[in-house]
Amino acid sequence: MTASHEQQPPTPARRRTAALAAGTAAALGLAAVSLAGPASAASTLTVAKDGSGMYTTVQAAVNAAAAGDTVSIAKGTYQEIVNVPVAKTGLTLKGATGNAEDVVITFDRAAGYTDASGNKFGTLGSSVATFSANNLTVTGLTVRNTFDKDAHPEITDTQAVAVTAQGDRQTFRNDRFVSRQDTVLNWAPSATGQHRQYIYSSFVTGDVDFVFGNATAVYDRVNIQLRDSGAAAGGLNGFLSAPNTSSAKTYGILVTGSTVSSSAAANTYYLGRPWHPTSDAVGQLVIRQTSLPAAVKTAGPWTDMSGYSWRNARFFEYRNTGAGAGVNSDRPQLTDSQAANYTAQKYLAGTDGWNPVG
């Protein structure tokens, strides 16, 4: 990227004009709001690899954006790490075509890779896109971590996050999140804080703990793909989820009205296991009214993690269907009355009644 490709957006100029107008109005004893009002409108910053937009990288546009702005990204593959900081409240990132397969943010990064100082990136540092701002909207994008553990046998920390969502009131619609281990991290920087994320009508794929974290997250009408790692029937291909919800929180992760698909052999996937990195982590996850494939271990789809029993976690199902569905003593089910309290709206309402559902 060269400086000549990075044109400056009109927003700063408009703000300077607004400031001058406000000062003039004050000097004349007039109401400044009537002069400064139009400058407060949100801006759209455009990104295109070929230089036809205002920026050639997504991060450059994010850096220049003000809270409430929109970053519109043209068709293309953008090889970069993207960070949307806390200050960019209300930002929208959208693929310009509306088709998530057209607009791809991608990078090869793993927890075991090291930085220039020789320090490992770790799980959080392996993320291709980190979204920290509240009231964020991401739509029409693919975020892909291309780390290949088979190509890097020297790397033992193989977590490779595509997306870290760690803000409140974040909405992801019509997106694609692709990796293998730890694809989407739904994260609450303060374990007991209010951090809610809504993933709707999207696609998520992985093989190990690829929906995980301690935030409150809803996966609504999402296509979740369990990748085939080659295990024979009855063996182990992976684990869909690994929540580590604080025991102080009622709601962790909900998968509802979705489709879990897989070409993997029968009985090779667990639905989840409880990540227990702290004493107060008691994973909470419900999968309800969702189609499950034969790849799911029907006799017992939950398993222990690092010596912590899944039975101590809060794992439930409700009215699931498909070859991987079933009801037995190792598959706790919600009753109809309980299920009424474990809906997308209930998970996301929080203390302010937020309802982005549908």
d(CA 346, CA 338): 12
d(CA 211, CA 197): 12
**Residues 168, 175, 207, 209: which is the catalytic one?**
209
The DSSP string of 227-249 is ----PPTTS--EEEEEE--BTT-
- The C-alpha torsion from 126 through 127 and 133 to 137, rounded to 10°, is 180
Tokens representing residue 179 in the block: 């990796």
**Residues 69, 168, 175, 182: which is the catalytic one?**
182
- Catalytic-residue membership of 148: no
Check: CB of residue 228 under 8 Å from CB of residue 261: no
Residue carrying the six token digits 């034969």: 294
Check: CB of residue 90 under 8 Å from CB of residue 131: no
| Cα 328-331-337 angle, rounded to 5 deg | 100
d(CA 248, CA 7): 48
Edge-first strand listing for the sheet containing 203-206 = 76-79, 103-107, 142-145, 176-178, 203-206, 223-226, 259-262
Tokens representing residue 112 in the block: 């075991």
d(CA 141, CA 106): 11
| Cα 207-298-250 angle, rounded to 5 deg | 70
Q: Kindly report the backbone phi and psi dihedral angles of residue 40, in degrees, each rounded to the nearest multiple of 5, phi listed first.
A: -80, -10
- Catalytic-residue membership of 182: yes
Which residues lie closer than 8 Å to 283 by C-beta, 6 or more apart? Answer: 242, 243, 244, 245, 252, 272, 274, 275, 276, 313, 314, 315
Check: CB of residue 186 under 8 Å from CB of residue 165: yes
Amino acid identity, residue 39? A
For the annotated catalytic residues, the residue numbers are 182, 209
